[in-house]
Amino acid sequence: MIRHNYHTHTFRCGHAIGEDEEYVMEAIGLGMQTIGFSDHVMLEGVTQVNVRGDFEMTEDYFSSIRSLEQKYKERIRILLGFEAEPFPEYFSYYEMLLKSGKIDYLILGNHCELENGRPKYFFSRATTKEDLIRYKNTLIRGMETGYFAYVAHPDYFMGGYGDFDRTCRQISEEICDAALRLNMPLEFNFAAIRRGKVEIGSTERYLYPHQDFWKIAKRKGCKMILGLDAHAPMELSSDKNDIGFRMARDLGMEIVHELDCFQKKEI
- Segment 245-262 shows an average pLDDT of 90
Residue 121: CA count within 13 A, CB half-sphere:
21
Q: What is the mean pLDDT of residues 37-60?
A: 96
Residues 53-75 have a mean pLDDT of 98
Distance CA 113, CA 49 (A): 16
Indicate whether 8 belongs to any domain: yes
Helices (H), 183-240: 191-195, 211-220
CA 26 to chain CA mean position, Å: 20
Are 171 and 157 contacting, i.e. CB atoms less than 8 angstroms apart? yes
State which residues form the domain around 221: 4-251
> Does the residue 69 lie in any domain?
yes
Tell whether 110 is covered by a domain: yes
CA dihedral sign of residues 73, 101, 19, 9:
negative
**Residue 262: what pLDDT?**
54
- pLDDT one-digit tens code per residue, 205-239: 999 999 999 999 999 999 999 999 999 999 999 99
* pLDDT-based confidence at residue 1 (cuts at 50, 70, 90): confident
Q: Strand 198-200 to strand 203-205: parallel, antiparallel, or no bridges (unpaired)?
A: antiparallel
What percent of the chain is modeled with pLDDT above 90? 89
**Residue 136 belongs to domain with CATH number:** 3.20.20.140
Number of separate domains in the chain: 1
Does residue 233 belong to any structural domain of this protein?
yes
pLDDT level of residue 19 (50, 70, 90 thresholds):
very high
Residues 10, 1: Cα–Cα separation, whole Å:
22
Q: Residue range 240-257: average pLDDT? A: 96
Tell me the β-bridge partners of 38: 81
Residue 240 lies in a domain: yes
Distance CA 226, CA 259 (A): 11
pLDDT, tens digit (0-9, with 9 covering 90-100), for 80-139: 999 999 999 999 999 999 999 999 999 999 999 999 888 888 998 899 999 999 999 999
Does any domain span residue 159? yes
Q: Does residue 267 fall inside a structural domain?
A: no
Residues 160-190: tens digit of each pLDDT: 898 999 999 999 999 999 999 999 999 999 9
Task: Decide if 167 is inside a domain.
Answer: yes
Predicted confidence band of residue 261 (pLDDT cuts 50, 70, 90): low
Beta bridge partners of 52: 48
Mean pLDDT of 53-61: 97
**233 with 26: CB under 8 angstroms?**
yes
Q: Please, where are the H alpha helices in 2-144?
A: 20-29, 58-71, 91-100, 129-143
